[in-house]
Chains A and B, each alone.
Chain A
Amino acid sequence: MVLLWRWVSGIPAYLWSGWGAVASLCLLLAVWEAVSITLGPLILPDPGATFGALWQLLAGGVAARELLLTGQRAMTGLLLAMVLGSSAGLLAGLSMTAAMMARPLVTVLLGTPPIAWLVLAMLWFGANDGTPVFTAFIACFPVIFVGALQGTRTLDHHLKDMAAMFRLPWHMRLTDLYGPHVLSYLFPAWINALGTAWKVAVMAELLASADGVGAALAIARSQLDMPVTLAWVGAVVLTLLLVEYLLLEPLKREVERWREVQA
């Protein structure tokens, strides 16, 4: 509750601090406009046309429907990865052998490009929801797994001694010692995975789905409709930015207040 209130009351000041970002975005728009004038609208439509197309997508409710669908798939994959990755990482972190055995496996997983998984997923799941969900899951899993593993392996034995000396009961060790410590590693990993899930889900849809943002992108591309294509790209990026800066960043600040370094 306190967390929620602090989050809400923190937004105005936080938005105010965003002016620098707004200025740099304006600069980007100006450059975009200039390039589109030199190259012609067939290669790069100007921002006006793009935002017009985006507005039409939004107004018609098409954008909301497709974004929601893609969001659903990305979130399903992410949630699966959060639950399985976190718990597997924690368990592996508890045992030295498991941690050592997991290392190379995770390196392989991290090193495999999502597109390779996508091809496999298309063979396994066909053109249904399973493909984007699985691809998002498998792209996020190692990131979260590593976060959880590091969180468990790095707990200072000095703090464990301290907990023993002050006779902390087991539930307090969980909530006051292991929990916050592990979370401080897991939380950044989750946020990282969120971006990955979103991007990978769009990619999977582009190649393997009949609906969702990715599919819409594919259709716009096949019709050579540059403004709509760019409008979809814009929608994808904007959604991610909104979630990141309005929800996650303030939440992260709150969760990691204790770590904040005074500027």
Chain B
Amino acid sequence: MTTGTPVPRLAVHGVSHAYGLHTVLENIELTLDAGRTLALVGPSGCGKTTLLHLCAGLLTLQGGHLHNDFGRPAMMFQQPRLLPWKTAGENIALGLKAMGIPARERRQRAERAGMAVELDAGALAQFPHQLSGGMQSRVALARALVLEPDLLLLDEPFSALDIGLKAQLHQWLLQEQARRGLAMLMITHDLMEAVRLADTVLVMDSGPGRIAHRLDLPRPALQRDDAWVHRSTAHLLHSPGVRRCFGLPPLATGPHPSPDAGDAGMAQVITLSPVQYKRSLAC
């Protein structure tokens, strides 16, 4: 280990969670360093949102350890959760107001954040119920981004957006990340999105929720082209374990897409038992 200013890190060790008698998460392990992106995918109801809320400190930890030394976390919830009596602009500026930033600066920064997610001044002056679903979710995203967080927790941030907007926001987020070393933990149902953005994709299995597979993607996110993303997604989807997680039928044995002709030592989909996972973290 090199000495120096330690990079902030989010670390989750052996975390379990139950709602009443219903165990939702079991023995979860993950780490996320500044400047990295972790994507969490898995079947609906497997406990992804619960895990994210635990990381955010919104749920009390029932078992295991959670260590988080990011100072300015921000979160985008699965539902927009906007205040209906405030305009979109005021909703975006909510966190800034909580920090005691004067109204003028708040407005300017909210406008800039709105612009980044393609919301114009007209949209910012409207109340949430006057906006479309996708616009509401962009307001929620802007509300998190405007705080310039060092840790961004995203729960299906782009699921309501068209592919053009999605691609644009992906690029914008990656550039933000490169600029100021932002760490992202994102939940998504879009494997392609996970493969495009993340350094590590964690596949969760349900009943009870645990991390079953892991895919490390060494190529820097900004250098990934469409062809690479398609190949890597196909590679992930060819793993029998991953297919089982999502309840997909097994593939008839055909030619396995060679994962990455360009990259030497392309990632393998690693299937994890809890013990193996700890080891894989250690190296």
| A interface, CB within 8 angstroms of B | 158-159, 161-162, 164-169, 172, 176-177, 180-181, 184, 257-259, 261-262
Contact = CB atoms under 8 A, between A and B. Distances in A.
B86 A258 contact: yes
B65 interface: no
Contact of B81 (A159, A176, A181, A184): A159
A168 B81 CA distance: 15
Contact of B75 (A165, A181, A262): A165
Interface of B: 53, 56, 58, 73-75, 77, 79, 81, 83-86, 94-95, 97-99, 127-130, 143, 147
Contacts, number: 53
B85 A180 contact: yes
Nearest to B100: A169
Contact of B83 (A161, A164, A177, A259): A177
Given A158-B77, A180-B85, A258 B129 contact: yes
27 contacts: A158-B77, A158-B79, A158-B81, A161-B77, A162-B81, A165-B56, A165-B58, A165-B73, A165-B77, A166-B74, A166-B98, A166-B143, A166-B147, A167-B95, A167-B99, A168-B98, A169-B98, A176-B86, A177-B83, A180-B83, A181-B85, A184-B85, A257-B127, A258-B85, A259-B84, A259-B85, A262-B130
Contacts of A259: 84-85, 129
Main secondary structure of the interface of A (DSSP, over half): helix
B84 A258 contact: yes
- The CB with the most chain B CB atoms within 10 A, among A164, A166, A172, is that of A166
A205 B127 CA distance: 46
Contacts of B143: 166
A168 B96 CA distance: 10
B94 A176 contact: yes
A110 B85 CA distance: 31
A166 B147 CA distance: 9
A257 B130 CA distance: 11
Given A161-B58, A262-B130, A172 B97 contact: yes
Nearest to B77: A162
Nearest to A167: B98
A158 B58 CA distance: 10
Contacts of A167: 95, 98-99
A176 B75 contact: no
A261 B74 CA distance: 31
A142 B75 CA distance: 41
A47 to B, nearest CB: 44
Contacts of B127: 257-258
A262 B126 CA distance: 12
Nearest to A161: B58
In the A-B complex, the 9 residue pairs with the smallest Cβ-Cβ separation, listed nearest first, are A166-B95, A180-B85, A258-B85, A258-B127, A162-B81, A168-B98, A165-B75, A161-B58, A167-B98
